[in-house]
Every structure is written in C-alpha cells, then in structure tokens.
Chains A and B, each alone.
Chain A
C-alpha cells in the first residue's frame, strides 16, 4: 500500500531574528543576523541567539513562572502554527492530535537554577523547588504545550541532540501514516542559552565562537570561523494527511518527500562524513529522487573548523559537480545554533523559496575556506533561481545522529 502523502499546513516559530515566518524570511533575505551579548552565570558576557517573542501572548504570568522556557517556546510555536494552519481549533478532536517536539536536551536549565538557588542557602536541600521534577522530565516541553492547548493525544519529546528538529517532523510523518493521529504539531525547540553548562562545555571543547561583532560571530564556511554561537529558538509545524488538508481547503506549504536517520557509531562528538553521505543518499532515494533533483541543500554546518569541512565532504560525495541546479546555503550564519530547534527552523526559513524562487545566502563569509568551496554555495547575497521544487535539510548531532529531511513543492 502506498503511504499517505503528508503535507505542511501551518508554521509557528521564534528565532533570534524573527518571531514569525514572514519576519524570519525577510531577515534571511536582507542579511539580518540576530546574535547579541548575554550575561551567562559564572561566565559573564557571552554571544548568544536570544528570542524576543512575547510569552504572554499565549500564557498567563503564572504559567510562565511555573513552567520552563522550553515549555513557553513550545506553547508559542504550537499556538502560532495552529493559528497559521487555519484549523478550527475549538472543533478539533483533541484526542486525535499528537505533539512531537524534538529537543537537544531538557532539564539542565532547571537543575542548574536549583543548584544555584540552594547555594544561596548553604546547599540545604529543603530550599530545592517542588517544581523541579515536573520542570525537568524529558516530556516537559510537549507536556506544557498539551496543557496549554488542551491536547489529549500523545505529547512527548524526541531527544536527538541537534538533529532533533528534523526528527520531530519525521516522527510526526510516521505517526500520521500509521493512523495514530489525524493532526501532528511537530518540530523542535531549544532553551539552551538559559544554561551555563552548554557554553562552558563548548568552551572547554574549544568550540565556542568568539568575535568582536556579535552579528559576525557565526560564520560557517569562512576561513576565520572559530566555533558555535549557542542560541535558543523553536519551530513547530502542523502536519496533516493530504486528504484531510484538502478536505478543509487548507493552504499547503510543502509535502514531505523523504527522509532518513542513521548513526555514525564512531565518536561522541566528531562527525563522520561517510555516514552523513549515507544518510543524505538514503533520504534522496526514499524521496524517489536523484541528487540532481535537489534544488536547495540547507547545511547543518555550525562553524566549527572541522565539522564544516566534514559536512562539505559528505555533500561533495553525494552532489559532486554534476548537479547544476543544486544550491547550498546555511542558516546558522544568521541565528547561531538553535540546537534542537535548528533543523525545524532552518527548514522553515527556506520554504518560501517555493514561491519567491530565491535562495537565502550563507552570510559572514568574507574569506571562503577552500575546503568548504562547494559548487552551488550561495554566499552573502540571495540568489534568484529558475526552479525550486525540492529542499533538503541536514541536521546532525552529538553521539553521531544524522538526519536528512526532504520536502517538495506541493503539486496536487
């Protein structure tokens, strides 16, 4: 039996340079980055991608106080996606809705906060918050969204390091095809900048970006790149089976064409270009396409000296010189690394290419690293192209998890 066709019908997002798809896209086309300085506990001023959405649009002050930042981002994105989808939410069967949210990690923020809190009381654990457990369970972000939206279907998170955003969409596609739910709210979120640990960890790994100008700090493929800018963010989609979307006359952004997920099984942190290439090839095959059919490749590249080269090696192995219509870009150069939200946000930023036939560039490339000089790389200025029918999105993560998701222009 042919699997159901799955389509994207709504998008809600918050990124360091935009709180809606329209604003985000405009900034990607105008070269507007969103990195700033932020005080990080124990570490002082650090570069970070900070979201500036209004939490009180969809939450009470008390919900914001009791919940987590990850929960708040999830609620904002989920509500925005539902609104954008045009669904009659009051009439929606809430037990047939699934919430599948990818996240890099969860619980570090609250644990660090509580340890700091009890440090103010000589580490006496009677001052430890009774909210600690509900705030730190791994399903917290999806659970908070389910409470806020009244969703009684399955709501959980998918832990997949920085591949998690793609995994949210892939898992949702699978659940819709299995008939487990009729509507999926899915994607990825991250509250990472609220913990010092991720900054300190990358710094100890010599992988934390530094630059005098925050807006130039995240610079994948540039010779002078020196690491990751840690960011928060979120992007959730509404996904539906095509027949359901058509029955209600929904606007359709794109159709899920194919995907693949695999593992390096080779190192805790070092990427493996051979496995990455296998992942990309398998996704292209799954979509029933060849590499020549892919029009935009949105790279995962995080601006670490080695990681960028390795992803370029993988892309070169798959696309080589024989794909003249394949354009390659990167979104982290604007917003830093939004961790669990990265894949979902970066895909969203490229979806408007189906209609405006423009590929947003990779910015901050003043001196292209020859090892990253891929054919088709779109540098510093948007590129008008003749055709965008497919977008391939790479997201890779620690412990060697690789994910590639391909969407295509919707054609009835």
Chain B
C-alpha cells in the first residue's frame, strides 16, 4: 500500500463517520480537527473502523498519530503493509 492509498482508506472512513462534511479539499498536512467538525468520539470511530474493516489496531498512546492525513499515512502505511505481508 502506498501512502496515498492509505490516505484514501482514512478519508473513506471519515466520509462515513462525518457524512455532512465536504472532504474534497482536505489539506493532508493540516490537523483533521482544524478542518472538520470531529470530536473525540469521532476519533474513536476512526480507530474502530480501522479495526473492523482492516484489522489494524491503534493503541491509545498512538492516537496522536491520527492527527492529520499525512501523519495517518506515516503511521498506518507500515501497519497495512506488515499486515499484508503476514497474509
């Protein structure tokens, strides 16, 4: 998985948990919370959907890594690739 593919996975999840938001102009380097109406429960949704849809676990200490799309991609892409290698 590339980092861009990883970002798309995250944006697809956000589209479901924040269905009123316009995601067409998300800036990857800017904190998601600064661009979207997302609260702490929504971030728990992102964590849950990564778990449910992709088998990816994000420990609480690492939640900060989900701040922006860029940081998501940095943190999650190796996890996706490690998981793919196991399968």
- Interface contact A121-B52, CB-CB below 8 Å: yes
Contact of B20 among A62, A121, A126, A129 (CB under 8 A): A62
- Interface contact B18-A62, CB-CB below 8 Å: yes
Chain A: interface residue total (CB-CB under 8 A)? 11
Contact of A60 among B20, B44, B51 (CB under 8 A): B20
Provide the residues of chain A in CB contact with B44, threshold 8 Å.
130
Provide the residues of chain A in CB contact with B20, threshold 8 Å.
60-62
Chain A nearest Cβ from B84, distance in angstroms: 20
- Interface contact B19-A130, CB-CB below 8 Å: no
A-B contact count (CB 8 A): 22
Whether B67 is near chain A, meaning CB under 8 Å from some CB there, is no
Contacts of B15-69 to chain A: CB distance below 8 A: 17-20, 37, 41, 44-45, 48, 51-52
- Interface contact B52-A130, CB-CB below 8 Å: no
- Interface contact A62-B48, CB-CB below 8 Å: no
> What is the interface of chain A mostly: helix, strand, loop, or mixed?
helix
Provide the residues of chain A in CB contact with B37, threshold 8 Å.
62
- Interface contact B17-A130, CB-CB below 8 Å: no
- Interface contact B41-A130, CB-CB below 8 Å: yes
- Interface contact A131-B52, CB-CB below 8 Å: no
- Interface contact B51-A61, CB-CB below 8 Å: no
Chain B interface bracket (under 10, 10 to 19, 20 to 34, 35 or more): 10 to 19
Contact of A61 among B19, B45, B48, B52 (CB under 8 A): B19
Chain B nearest Cβ from A295, distance in angstroms: 48
Measured in the bound complex, the distance between the Cα atoms of B43 and A247 in whole Å is 48
Chain A nearest Cβ from B54, distance in angstroms: 13
Whether A93 is near chain B, meaning CB under 8 Å from some CB there, is no
Provide the residues of chain A in CB contact with B18, threshold 8 Å.
62
- Interface contact B48-A129, CB-CB below 8 Å: yes
Contact of A127 among B17, B19, B45, B51 (CB under 8 A): B51
Sample of 13 more A-B contacts, CB < 8 Å, known A127-B52, A130-B41, A130-B44 = A60-B20, A61-B20, A62-B18, A62-B20, A65-B17, A65-B19, A66-B41, A121-B52, A126-B51, A129-B48, A130-B45, A130-B48, A131-B41
22 example contacts (A-B, Cβ-Cβ < 8 A) are as follows A60-B20, A61-B19, A61-B20, A62-B17, A62-B18, A62-B19, A62-B20, A62-B37, A65-B17, A65-B19, A66-B41, A121-B52, A126-B51, A127-B48, A127-B51, A127-B52, A129-B48, A130-B41, A130-B44, A130-B45, A130-B48, A131-B41
